[in-house]
Chain A
């Protein structure tokens, strides 16, 4: 065993040196060290915990060397060490023990680390004991994330981090998330600041969850204050896996899975569709459509005799059992002079929709973190050097998931089912086929959404490389006085290539390409930052503990450039040859290029943490930031915060309750943070000379003269958004620390949002961003955790958390008090349907309330006789009854009101873990409540020939048939075009995100040459409890992400997240 594991370790080391092209010098001497120790005596030992249970897999290491083993299934180990040597025994969750070897056998008792008690959390420029933390933070461990086997760490965090609202922006692989902490704080950039290994602004989705050691979320202002001008939206600190002292450990995690759509709406088949279309014509007093006369007889007969059901486009593009796979290899080890951690991982995921071209996502990442002590004096690491490096490469190909004009799922939901997908020769059923089939005779705009998708999105790939590196020098001249200098470098490059072949589906310009077209774009750039901190920790009289931190930071970003070019006229007509070099149409070439736009931030900051006997804690932080985004006089801002804590259970008077209350800490904090995330140069009246300001004098139609104009009003006074937050909370552990409770109440006021408030039209030029909006978020968060054993073998934990948030806009600096949302969201011809307005939550849905449907003319007459208003001057039975809210006897915009809120009031997470004799069962669930979705799977605005879901049978078609959905009409109609609550649905849901059953074969084969060999099966998104009728109740789409990312809950055919079944292994050597 001992020999085996050492062999494994050696092999691993060799592999490793091969991989990284040389090991740090401390390792180079390692085999020699092992040789010499073997001349010494053999020690046999047992490691048990305080209850006498053997500890399996504990690290036993001769202190100061890398000579070590890991305990076996019975907690035993054998190691050659000289007499008198000191053994260091460590295991996760236990206090590390140092024991002197005095005889041939030894028994070591590990004492459980009173867990949470001594746990440390990352707090920004340092760590802090969790029990001393006075702010509101939440920590998620890497192993918790990895246990859920998600592609992105954010998905896994949904159930574990109350107060962090994470919503998928699409279920398409590789797409992002909308994340806000404690509610939307602005209509600008509300995303929290991500800090990955000290480097700000990284992309958490680039990391494989297996690379993550821990994620710490800073939620209140006091915790975020150390990030000053960028802390207003909260901070997410990601620490990647770091080197550890101990034997080299190699782990492999891998899984493979199958994904399917969890739910598919029922669409009308060809015959049903024809019946419904006829019904519509009939309702209108028109003739039934002459299907028989206009469709080709072959097509008509095959529909009538049932031999052709029509095309279910959605099913057609469903990618059955779409594969997903992930491999992650991690190697970690080191001694007290040098440690390292290496990770290599690969993920690939196909999308569940998009067949035959498919959405596709791949990610490869490599990480190497290492720490070296350069000068050690006694126990003091005087000079040490460390580095972190992560590199990743992502590729993504996708179908359209955008607004109503560029959404393939919406296109397939809407397409008429009569049209066959393919013609008899197996090609896309396109223009000639549509013409011959007679379909154009009935539906002039008929298309083939499959063909459209294949041609327009079938050939595209985006590639993205990202490199994050940091090097840190630490100098500790005297104990606990540490000067730390960290230099960070981040670079990324991306490219995109797309090819659209020549095609013609129908005469509309949007359904044909008269020549093929290739687009190539590329972008690359870098940023750096340099942070210097001085930290001194000391105690006075052993009871006053003081931790001082002072630092500076400078950061510069945007050193980069982008180019894009398009051309047509390919020498070849295929994707492989779709390169600009092969495109020869000189006339159609276009190219653009621009710099990224440089910017910088310079900062001074300081922190004082004080505690008295770990009973009373106090912390003060101040940060002074200067941002290049503002004019010279308004550049600098100061962001203070204060927080205090009181560990009541350390008081004498609490002794009596110590039998049930192990720990109780009250916390309070207040602070101010800023948000400087705004486009630069708002303080200047810039002049545009772009292509948009030209004029074709002298008939220079191909090269119009360039014009110049001042494109916006300057706002020299523009400055930070400020977020002020008050937080009260407590942390408690009860009943022998089995029950953990964390509670927080907060009130976050974000002032002076940078809004592009409308200015008077007669100013005649673009509005600057002004500091013109306030919003208040108030909420509570509660997390309960129960951790226990039943008998010797059965362990379990139950975690429940919830967060409630209320969002209310309190000021918008224009007379209306409104920031308007976009129009044409659900359908062409619809007006604005969401907005930000004083007194309402950001992004609430704005529309008419309805009070049912007029059932008959008598009802209409009575309604009118009573003096009530109607939308149409001549309503007919089947029309909606729009509510005249303000009672002015007319239905106008003034009657529109809050008909829904896309942001949930309440989110909740559930985490269950059970362990029994090598079996483990993990269950994770996540729910959101109190929010609404606006759904439309057809464009009621401009096409009467869109298909329907079977919901169409619930519309009004005679007295008493429906009191919610109005009569069907061809094309658009006031019943449908005026956004009302008929599009709103409650979207409360609870999703069983993950259920995993695993078994560790190490239990069965204790002598196997690894520490863990776990096999598991997982079901993700197994079921969702919801009343929502769409495919997925978690809809983070606003219909215009570029300009209205604060909107959400628009379902036009939202790409749903898949239901996945996985099989995987975890191997540890």
Chain B
């Protein structure tokens, strides 16, 4: 009997030690043991680039999209329930968390870069040169992500470590832009003098180009030529000129001889179709069959593995948003495919361009008159739901269709015609929402040439750009340079910050040109009479300086560590006047 009791007691005392409760995840590593190898290092870098795709999943909230729609070159467009698109054009707010998604997503990129900068040194088996290239890429990407955040929100927390700190203050101006420039300088110093053309990786020269872009914005917008970085170093205009000159001279990047050949609608499967306006004109897209574009310095790369729930950003969401609104027959909108109709081209751009540079072939290479399409119908085809429709579409970032072998129907994207070996993730073959996978170029070498002229006041760079467009050389002038940037880089996400750095008056005047331009509402002609909605573009610009509202949820979250840490909303926001209530109908 006693034995039984002993046994019972022994059994009851069984285990319960902590070992029994230790468990391990077999599907995830953790930061305690990662990254350690060369392969890990490559993955860590990949994870930072992946943020380009993440933001792409919700392009409508991104800085790129906002800067396009808010600029004087494009209106909002979209359907009447796409209030976001119109609100971005009008510089108004809709909903309480309008830009939260972008804000959170872009900071994910910053976090990944911070993590990489902190931990890449732990990786064994990587050559020093490769490690420096990786680190430089991390610095570049952190700078690029902050460039967008700082441009958009102005006054933001700026973590440069992976530690979560609820007490980080908002910073703006020199400390913030100094950090960006400091990171770019670090990237330039770290990365070897070796171009990564066509790979999707950035290189030293990309960092130089972005340095120019960031410096020009900061020095113009904040009216400050010499920047003191957080680490105490100073960056002068001459420092920037030196880097840009190095880039022009030594990078190996060059202009594509024919401007048209930069854009996907000149791809070989589309351009010679019987419906094409360019049939037989000898246009050859530089990226046909994954050809290397010698002008593309920094781009978003896409792939065939999108999934609705997680990785929709693997395909170009901007192209979808900017695509032709309404389920219109591809034969009637050829060569462009279906989309949501965001960002119709503002008629004032077309008329300005026509007046200033009537013979510029880039105008027709960049802007499509919808009446010149084979059979475009206004009012979004049968949808009959289109606000701020205009007579013009931009052509640079669009879904481009191509004919199928049957000769009658069309692929939603030419990529399927060009590469029969594409293996799409399940269910996504020939899907107009998921098939635009050609690169979206964010920095082109042409911009470097224009920056060189702008920084030095020497027209050489800009005249190279003009020469490529078949236009005669001009003498340098600020206005000529500004126009040149507008024509050359239209719809590539730079105009908005250009306007802002040219000064308030310049920006206001330019933006107000959109007032009362001709638009269509549900297919019916009307005027872009915005003064009843936002009081006029210029006045909204005066109130906001072009900064977007900080997401209100972030403001309330910031008070968690104490009221003294609470973020301040940007000026011009948070009032009833700044709310968009929908297009009046």
Contact indicator A762/B30 (Cβ below 8 Å): no
Q: Which residues of B contact A890 (CB under 8 A)?
A: 576, 579
In the bound assembly, the distance between CA atoms of A601 and B16 in angstroms comes to 8
State whether A707 and B49 are in contact (beta carbons under 8 Å apart), knowing that A445-B327, A628-B23, A635-B18 are contacts in the complex.
yes
Contact indicator B157/A709 (Cβ below 8 Å): no
In the bound assembly, the distance between CA atoms of A556 and B15 in angstroms comes to 13
Stretch in B214-222, B240-248, B426-434, B510-518 with 4+ CB within 8 Å of A? B426-434
Contact indicator A686/B30 (Cβ below 8 Å): yes
B554 at the interface (CB under 8 A from A): yes
Interchain nearest-CB distance for B233 vs A (Å): 24
B349 at the interface (CB under 8 A from A): no
State whether A688 and B28 are in contact (beta carbons under 8 Å apart), knowing that A517-B427, A697-B199, A971-B81 are contacts in the complex.
yes
Interchain nearest-CB distance for B555 vs A (Å): 8
Interchain nearest-CB distance for B177 vs A (Å): 17
The interface bits of chain B over 545-579 (1 if a CB of A lies within 8 angstroms of the residue's CB, else 0) are 00000010110111110000000000000001001
Contact of B16 among A554, A686, A692 (CB under 8 A): A554
Contact indicator B8/A695 (Cβ below 8 Å): no
Q: Which residues of B contact A514 (CB under 8 A)?
A: 429-430
In the bound assembly, the distance between CA atoms of A875 and B421 in angstroms comes to 55
A704 at the interface (CB under 8 A from B): yes
A566 at the interface (CB under 8 A from B): yes
Interface size on A, as a range, is 35 or more
Contact indicator B302/A696 (Cβ below 8 Å): yes
State whether A815 and B31 are in contact (beta carbons under 8 Å apart), knowing that A696-B303, A704-B303, A764-B107 are contacts in the complex.
no
Contact indicator A604/B81 (Cβ below 8 Å): no
Interchain nearest-CB distance for B376 vs A (Å): 15
Contact indicator A693/B46 (Cβ below 8 Å): yes
* Closest B residue to A533 using CB positions: B12
State whether A687 and B29 are in contact (beta carbons under 8 Å apart), knowing that A626-B21, A762-B159, A815-B560 are contacts in the complex.
yes
In the bound assembly, the distance between CA atoms of A530 and B164 in angstroms comes to 42
* Closest A residue to B423 using CB positions: A587
B121 at the interface (CB under 8 A from A): no
In the bound assembly, the distance between CA atoms of A891 and B29 in angstroms comes to 48
B356 at the interface (CB under 8 A from A): no
Contact indicator A972/B327 (Cβ below 8 Å): no
Interface size on B, as a range, is 35 or more
Q: Which residues of A contact B95 (CB under 8 A)?
A: 831, 893
Q: Which residues of A contact B80 (CB under 8 A)?
A: 971-973
Contact of A814 among B46, B47, B557 (CB under 8 A): B557
Contact indicator A694/B303 (Cβ below 8 Å): yes
Contact indicator A765/B108 (Cβ below 8 Å): yes
The interface bits of chain B over 1-13 (1 if a CB of A lies within 8 angstroms of the residue's CB, else 0) are 1001100110111
B525 at the interface (CB under 8 A from A): no
Contact indicator A687/B427 (Cβ below 8 Å): no
In the bound assembly, the distance between CA atoms of A888 and B384 in angstroms comes to 35
Interchain nearest-CB distance for A30 vs B (Å): 31
Stretch in A591-599, A913-921, A1011-1019 with 4+ CB within 8 Å of B? A591-599
Contact indicator A889/B576 (Cβ below 8 Å): yes
Stretch in B69-77, B111-119, B473-481 with 4+ CB within 8 Å of A? B111-119
Contact indicator A626/B579 (Cβ below 8 Å): no
In the bound assembly, the distance between CA atoms of A626 and B45 in angstroms comes to 39
In the bound assembly, the distance between CA atoms of A941 and B81 in angstroms comes to 8
The interface bits of chain A over 676-705 (1 if a CB of B lies within 8 angstroms of the residue's CB, else 0) are 000011001111111111111111111011
Which of B396-427 touch A at CB < 8 Å? 419, 421-427
A872 at the interface (CB under 8 A from B): yes
In the bound assembly, the distance between CA atoms of A467 and B48 in angstroms comes to 46
Interchain nearest-CB distance for B439 vs A (Å): 9
Contact indicator A815/B559 (Cβ below 8 Å): yes
In the bound assembly, the distance between CA atoms of A514 and B434 in angstroms comes to 14
Interchain nearest-CB distance for A430 vs B (Å): 17
The interface bits of chain A over 975-986 (1 if a CB of B lies within 8 angstroms of the residue's CB, else 0) are 001000000000
B130 at the interface (CB under 8 A from A): no
B311 at the interface (CB under 8 A from A): yes
Contact indicator B47/A707 (Cβ below 8 Å): yes
Contact indicator B290/A693 (Cβ below 8 Å): no
The interface bits of chain A over 509-542 (1 if a CB of B lies within 8 angstroms of the residue's CB, else 0) are 1000111010000000000001011100000000
Stretch in A641-649, A753-761, A1001-1009 with 4+ CB within 8 Å of B? A753-761
Contact of A763 among B79, B111, B314, B430 (CB under 8 A): B111
A873 at the interface (CB under 8 A from B): yes
Interchain nearest-CB distance for A608 vs B (Å): 17
B351 at the interface (CB under 8 A from A): no
Q: Which residues of B contact A689 (CB under 8 A)?
A: 28-29, 43
Contact indicator B425/A590 (Cβ below 8 Å): yes
The interface bits of chain B over 282-304 (1 if a CB of A lies within 8 angstroms of the residue's CB, else 0) are 00000000100000000001111
In the bound assembly, the distance between CA atoms of A533 and B12 in angstroms comes to 7
Interchain nearest-CB distance for B321 vs A (Å): 15
Contact indicator B558/A760 (Cβ below 8 Å): yes
In the bound assembly, the distance between CA atoms of A693 and B201 in angstroms comes to 16
Contact indicator A873/B35 (Cβ below 8 Å): no
Contact indicator A814/B560 (Cβ below 8 Å): yes
Contact indicator B15/A758 (Cβ below 8 Å): no
Contact indicator A974/B582 (Cβ below 8 Å): yes
State whether A626 and B16 are in contact (beta carbons under 8 Å apart), knowing that A483-B8, A698-B200, A701-B304 are contacts in the complex.
yes
In the bound assembly, the distance between CA atoms of A387 and B44 in angstroms comes to 53
Q: Which residues of A contact B35 (CB under 8 A)?
A: 708
Q: By CB atoms of chain B within 10 A, which of A509, A873, A942 has the most?
A: A509
Contact indicator B46/A708 (Cβ below 8 Å): yes
Interchain nearest-CB distance for A510 vs B (Å): 10
* Closest B residue to A681 using CB positions: B25
Q: Which residues of A contact B103 (CB under 8 A)?
A: 761
Q: By CB atoms of chain B within 10 A, which of A600, A704, A872 has the most?
A: A704
Interchain nearest-CB distance for A705 vs B (Å): 5
A436 at the interface (CB under 8 A from B): no
In the bound assembly, the distance between CA atoms of A599 and B26 in angstroms comes to 12
Q: Which residues of B contact A813 (CB under 8 A)?
A: 560
Contact of A444 among B27, B45, B166, B383 (CB under 8 A): B383
Contact indicator B437/A444 (Cβ below 8 Å): no
Q: Which residues of B contact A970 (CB under 8 A)?
A: 384-385
B162 at the interface (CB under 8 A from A): yes
Interchain nearest-CB distance for A490 vs B (Å): 18
In the bound assembly, the distance between CA atoms of A876 and B184 in angstroms comes to 55
Contact indicator A695/B12 (Cβ below 8 Å): no
Q: Which residues of B contact A626 (CB under 8 A)?
A: 16, 18, 21
Interchain nearest-CB distance for B133 vs A (Å): 13
Partner-A contacts on B (CB < 8 A): 1, 4-5, 8-9, 11-18, 20-23, 25-32, 34-35, 40, 42-50, 52-53, 79-81, 95-96, 100, 103-104, 107-112, 114-115, 156-159, 162, 164, 166, 168, 198-201, 290, 301-305, 307, 310-311, 314, 326-327, 381-385, 419, 421-427, 429-433, 437, 532-533, 551, 553-554, 556-560, 576, 579, 581-582, 584-585
Q: List 6 A-B contacts (CB under 8 A).
A: A444-B326, A554-B15, A590-B425, A600-B21, A707-B50, A974-B581
New contact pairs (19) apart from A694-B314, A814-B560, CB-CB < 8 Å: A442-B382, A443-B382, A517-B426, A532-B8, A534-B9, A552-B14, A588-B423, A600-B20, A603-B16, A685-B31, A690-B310, A692-B310, A695-B200, A699-B198, A701-B302, A710-B162, A761-B104, A762-B156, A815-B560
Partner-B contacts on A (CB < 8 A): 440-445, 475, 477-478, 483, 485, 507-509, 513-515, 517, 530, 532-534, 550-552, 554, 556, 566, 568, 587-588, 590, 594-595, 597-604, 626-628, 632, 635, 680-681, 684-702, 704-711, 713-714, 758-765, 813-816, 828-829, 831, 871-874, 888-893, 941-942, 970-974, 977
